[in-house]
Structure 1
Amino acid sequence: MIQLPSESDRLQILQDKMQEYIDNGTQLGWLIDRKKRQIFIYRPNIAVEVLDNPKRLCGKTLLRRFILHLSHIC
């Protein structure tokens, strides 16, 4: 799941929603904060990982060949 907030979305509400998705079975979630150029990575049973201004995201073992280039998003 990829969540890309709009200007009116509140980050904390989206973070809570992402955690709810993970708690209900989603295996991977990316919350992209364009304003702060941060990516929050959600996975089951793992603390949320925060990346500062990454150039790309890859799906690792879950989405092995999937790469999201962030130059036009962030």
Structure 2
Amino acid sequence: MFRFTVHAAVPSNTFAIYGNGEDKELTELVPGILNQLGPDSLASLRKLAESYQNLQKGEKGDDDDEIPDLVEGENFEESKVE
């Protein structure tokens, strides 16, 4: 059983709920959240999940943190003068 306390300042439309929190895994919460979403939100969520998966696939093969190789035969000091 949950024990919580509610404090309200009705004239300023402010409410505070105090109590002990409960940690849950996202997989426990998703079914309840999906039931509350409309068709537009589900489509947006699907697109977000697809873009996240594509991003994860791209990170495995491509590492942008590395310093690129220099171009052979190019002198960048000379091209700066032009």
TM normalised by structure 2 equals 0.22
* Greater C-alpha Rg: 2
TM normalised by structure 1 equals 0.24
Of structures 1 and 2, the one with the larger relative CO (CA 8 A, separation 6+) is 1
Greater helix proportion: 2
Greater strand proportion: 1
